[in-house]
Chain A
Amino acid sequence: MKNNSLEKLKKEYMDIPIPQELDFVVKKALKESRSNSTTMAAKGRFRKAAVVAASTAACVAVLTIGVNTSPAFAKTLSKVPIVSSIVKVLTFREYTVDEGTFNANIKVPEISGLKDEKLQSSLNEKYLKENEKLYEQFVADMEDMKQNGGGHLGVDSGYVVKTDTDRILSIGRYVVNIVGSSSTTFKYDTIDKKNEILITLPSLFKDDSYVDIISENIKEQMKSRHEADDSMIYWVEGVEDEGLVELFEKISKEQNFYINSDGKLVISFDKYDVAPGCMGIQEFVIPTQIISDILVSNEYIK
Chain B
Amino acid sequence: MSKTDLEEQIAEHVIEFKDKYYRLAYSYVRNADDALDIIQESIYKAFSSLDSLKNPSYIKTWFYRIVVNTSLDFLRKRKKEIVVSEVFLSANDESKYDSYEDFDLKAALDDLPPNYRSIIILRYFEDLKLQEIAEILNENVNTVKTRLYAGLKKLRIKMNDENWEVSK
Using a CB–CB cutoff of 8 Å, the interface residues on chain A facing chain B are 2, 5-6, 8-10, 12-14, 16-19, 21-23, 25-30, 32-34, 36-38, 44-45, 47, 179-183, 230-233, 242-246, 272, 276-279
Contact = CB atoms under 8 A, between A and B. Distances in A.
Contacts of B40: 25-26, 28-29, 181, 183, 277
B156 A25 contact: no
B26 A26 contact: no
Interface stretch (B31-39, B90-98, B128-136): B31-39
B77 A34 contact: no
11 contacts: A2-B152, A8-B105, A16-B23, A19-B36, A26-B40, A30-B15, A33-B47, A44-B47, A179-B36, A180-B33, A231-B77
A278 B19 contact: no
Nearest to B121: A13
Contact of B76 (A10, A34, A230, A277): A230
A22 B22 contact: yes
Contact of B14 (A12, A13, A26, A179): A26
B14 A30 contact: yes
Contacts of A45: 44-45, 48
A245 B49 contact: yes
B135 to A, nearest CB: 14
B33 A22 contact: no
Given A38-B4, A181-B33, 16 more contacts: A8-B105, A9-B105, A9-B106, A9-B109, A16-B23, A17-B32, A18-B19, A26-B18, A36-B47, A44-B48, A45-B44, A180-B36, A231-B76, A231-B77, A233-B73, A276-B73
B74 A30 contact: no
A34 B11 contact: yes
B36 A181 contact: yes
Interface string B33-63: 1101101110111111110100000000000
Contacts of A243: 49, 52
A242 B11 CA distance: 22
Interface in B126-168: 152, 156, 159
A13 B4 contact: no
Interface in B84-108: 102, 105-106
Contacts of B41: 272, 276-277
Interface size class of B (residues with CB under 8 A): 35 or more
Interface string B117-130: 00001001100000
Interface string B1-24: 001100100010011001100110
Contacts of A18: 19, 22-23
A86 B143 CA distance: 69
A278 B37 contact: yes
Contacts of A279: 77
B47 A37 contact: yes
Nearest to A31: B11
Contact of B125 (A2, A13, A32, A245): A13
B78 A16 contact: no
Given A2-B156, A276-B41, A30 B77 contact: no
A244 B36 contact: no
A246 B50 CA distance: 10
Contacts of A2: 152, 156
A21 B36 contact: yes
B11 A30 contact: yes
A29 B44 contact: yes
